[in-house]
C-alpha cells in the first residue's frame, strides 16, 4: 500500500482537470471573445472540428495515460520480487500501435482538408465587400462599394456574407473576431482575404492577435451586426456629408481642431482619399510627426474609440485628449501629435472641452 501513495494525486489531478473542464463548459462568466459561442457559419465549422479533435484526443489521452498508470501501478516493485523477464520487443504489438494512430489521424486529416477548402471562399456570390487596413494600433474599415470609411467598429448586416480584404500599413497584425471566425493575419505587401457571416444581431468583440508592438494588447475592435434595414440606415448616415457645427462649444472645438494640428492626421470631411493616405504614410516612414489617424467624420456614431478600449462618452474623450499616453501607452498620437509634444500647442482644459463638444457633434 505504501507504494501506491504517490500515485493518488495523479488520479486526483486528472479527475480535477476533467471536472474543471465541465465547469468551464457549463457555468462560465461571460466571455465576449469565447470561441465556444460560435455565432456564424465559419466559427461554427471551426468549432465543430475542434470538438471532433478534442474528443478524439481525450479518448487517446484516457487510453494511453490509463495504460501508463496501469503499468506503473500493476508492475510496481514488490518486496522480494524476482527479476522480471528481459523482454526486448514484440513485432506485432509495435505494428499495431503504429497503424492505429495512423488510422485515427487519417480520419482527422480528411475532415481537416475538407473544412479547409470549404471555408476558403464565401458561399454567396455577392458578399458585402469590406477592406480592412490595420495600423499600429487600430483597425480601419473601408466599404469600397459605398465610399464609407470608419474605424474600430465594423458594421455588418446580419445573415449576409461579408468578404474582407486585409492590408497593413506598417507591421503584421491579425484580424480576429472569435465568435465569428478564426484569425487571418494582416501583412504589409501581402493582401489577404477572409470572410464571415453573423447569424444573429449583436456586438462581437475582436482583437489583434499578432504581436505588433507596445500597444498590441490595446488593439481591439468590434463588429456590430445589425438587421439589414438598420445596416442600410447606418450606411446612409455614414455616406452623409460631414456635419459642420454652427455655434457654441462645438464651433470653438472645430477651430481648435485645426489650430492644434489635429487635421494633420485626422480627416473630418468624408472618406480619406488614397493620395492623402499615401502621403501621410510616406511622411511617417520619413520620420515626420505625421501618421494616418482614424477618420473622424462620423466619430460620434461609433460606440467606442482608440482601438475600442474606451466607450465613446464625454468623460472618456476628455481623458483621452488630456493624456492619450496614459490611456494607451505608446500610441502614435501621443508620440507624434504636436498638441502633445510641442508646449506651444498644448491643449488647455477649455480646448479639451471644446474638442469634446465638437467631436461629439460629428454624428
Residues that bind ligand HEA (CB under 6 A): 60, 64, 101, 104-105
Q: Should residue 35 be labelled a site residue for other proteins when binding is judged by CB under 8 A? A: yes
Task: Write the DSSP assignment of 57-68 as a string of letters.
Answer: HHHHHHHHHHHH
Degrees to nearest 5, angle at CA 307 with 203 and 280: 130
- Give the footprint of ligand HEC on residues 118-147 (CB under 6 A): 137-138
Using CB distances below 5 to 8 A depending on partner kind, what does residue 104 bind out of ligand CUA, ligand HEA, ligand HEC, none? ligand HEA
Q: Where are the beta strands (DSSP E) in 300-346?
A: 304-305, 310-311
**Spatial separation of the C-alpha atoms in residues 220 and 139, rounded to whole Å:** 8
Contacts 24+ apart (CB under 8 A), 254-257: 254/358, 255/354, 256/347, 256/351, 256/354, 256/355, 256/358, 257/355, 257/358
Residue with cell string 493620395: 275
Bridge-partner residues for 305, per DSSP?
310
**Cβ closest to other proteins, residue 113 vs residue 237:** 113
Smallest distance, Å, CB 184 to ligand CUA? 13
Q: Rule CB under 6 A: say whether 182 interacts with ligand HEC.
A: no
Measured in whole angstroms, the distance separating CA 12 from the mean position of its chain's CA atoms is 36
**Contact between 112 and other proteins per CB under 8 A:** yes
C-beta closer to ligand HEC: residue 235 or 339: 339
Per-residue binding letters, 299-338, with other proteins (x by CB under 8 A): ----------x-------------------xx--------
Contact between 29 and other proteins by CB under 8 A: the answer reads yes
Q: Minimal distance in Å, beta carbon 258 to ligand HEA?
A: 41
Number of residues this chain uses to bind ligand HEC (CB under 6 A) = 32
Cis peptide before 137 (omega within 30 of 0): yes
Restricted to residues 300-329, the positions that interact with ligand HEC (CB under 6 A) are 302, 305-307, 321, 328
Q: In angstroms, rounded to a whole number, what is the distance separating the alpha carbons of residues 219 and 138?
A: 5
User: In the set 43, 143, 173, 362, which binds ligand CUA (CB under 6 A)?
Assistant: 173
Letter string b/e over residues 231-242, b meaning 16 or more CB atoms within 10 A of that residue's CB = beebbeebeeee
Closest CB to ligand HEA among residues 101, 329: 101
Contact 331, 215 (CB under 8 A): yes
Other C-beta atoms within 10 Å of 70: how many?
10
Residue selected from 132, 142, 151, 219 as contacting ligand CUA according to rule CB under 6 A? 219
The reply on whether position 42 binds ligand HEC by CB under 6 A is no
Q: Please report, as residue ranges, which positions from 224 to 283 form the binding site for ligand HEC (by CB under 6 A).
A: 257, 260-262, 264-266
Pairing mode, strands 202-207 and 220-226:
antiparallel
Site residues for other proteins, 50-79, by CB under 8 A, read: 50, 53-54, 57, 60-61, 64-65, 67-68, 71-72, 75-78
* Cell numbers at 140, concatenated: 480601419
Cα 290 to chain center, whole Å?
26
Tell me the window of 192-200, 204-212, 246-254, 264-272 that interacts with ligand CUA (CB under 6 A).
204-212
Min CB(272)–other proteins separation in Å:
20
State the residues that interact with ligand CUA by CB under 6 A.
137, 173, 208, 210-212, 216, 219
Amino acid at each position: 500500500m505504501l507504494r501506491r501513495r504517490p500515485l493518488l494525486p495523479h488520479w486526483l489531478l486528472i479527475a480535477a482537470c476533467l471536472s474543471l473542464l465541465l465547469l468551464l463548459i457549463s457555468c462560465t462568466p461571460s466571455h465576449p471573445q469565447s470561441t465556444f459561442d460560435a455565432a456564424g457559419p465559419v466559427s461554427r465549422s471551426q468549432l465543430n472540428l475542434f470538438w471532433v479533435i478534442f474528443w478524439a484526443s481525450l479518448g487517446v489521452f484516457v487510453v494511453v495515460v490509463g495504460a501508463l498508470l496501469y503499468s506503473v501501478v500493476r508492475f510496481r516493485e514488490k518486496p522480494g520480487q524476482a527479476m522480471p523477464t528481459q523482454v526486448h520487443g514484440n513485432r506485432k504489438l509495435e505494428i499495431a500501435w503504429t497503424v492505429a494512430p495512423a488510422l485515427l489521424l487519417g480520419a482527422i486529416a480528411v475532415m481537416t482538408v475538407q473544412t479547409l477548402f470549404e471555408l476558403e471562399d464565401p458561399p454567396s456570390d455577392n458578399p458585402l465587400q469590406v477592406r480592412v487596413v490595420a495600423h499600429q494600433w487600430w483597425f480601419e474599415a473601408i466599404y469600397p462599394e459605398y465610399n464609407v470609411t470608419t474605424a474600430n467598429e465594423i458594421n455588418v448586416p446580419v445573415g449576409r456574407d461579408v468578404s474582407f480584404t486585409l492590408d497593413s500599413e506598417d507591421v503584421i497584425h491579425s484580424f480576429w473576431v472569435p465568435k465569428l471566425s478564426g484569425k487571418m493575419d494582416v501583412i504589409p505587401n501581402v493582401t489577404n482575404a477572409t470572410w464571415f457571416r453573423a447569424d444573429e444581431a449583436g456586438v462581437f468583440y475582436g482583437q489583434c492577435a499578432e504581436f505588433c508592438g507596445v500597444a498590441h494588447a490595446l488593439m481591439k475592435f468590434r463588429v456590430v451586426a445589425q438587421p439589414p434595414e438598420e445596416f442600410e440606415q447606418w450606411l446612409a448616415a455614414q455616406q452623409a456629408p460631414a456635419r459642420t457645427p454652427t455655434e457654441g462649444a462645438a464651433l470653438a472645438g472645430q477651430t481648435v481642431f485645426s489650430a492644434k494640428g489635429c487635421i494633420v492626421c485626422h480627416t473630418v470631411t468624408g472618406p480619406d482619399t488614397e493620395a492623402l493616405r499615401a502621403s501621410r504614410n510616406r511622411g511617417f516612414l520619413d520620420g515626420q510627426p505625421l501618421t494616418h489617424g482614424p477618420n473622424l467624420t462620423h466619430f460620434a456614431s461609433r460606440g467606442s474609440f482608440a482601438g475600442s478600449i474606451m466607450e465613446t462618452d464625454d468623460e472618456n474623450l476628455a481623458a483621452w485628449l488630456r493624456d492619450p499616453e496614459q490611456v494607451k501607452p505608446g500610441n502614435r498620437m501621443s508620440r507624434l501629435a504636436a498638441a502633445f509634444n510641442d508646449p506651444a500647442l498644448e491643449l488647455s482644459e477649455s480646448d479639451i472641452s471644446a474638442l469634446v463638444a465638437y467631436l461629439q457633434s460629428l454624428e
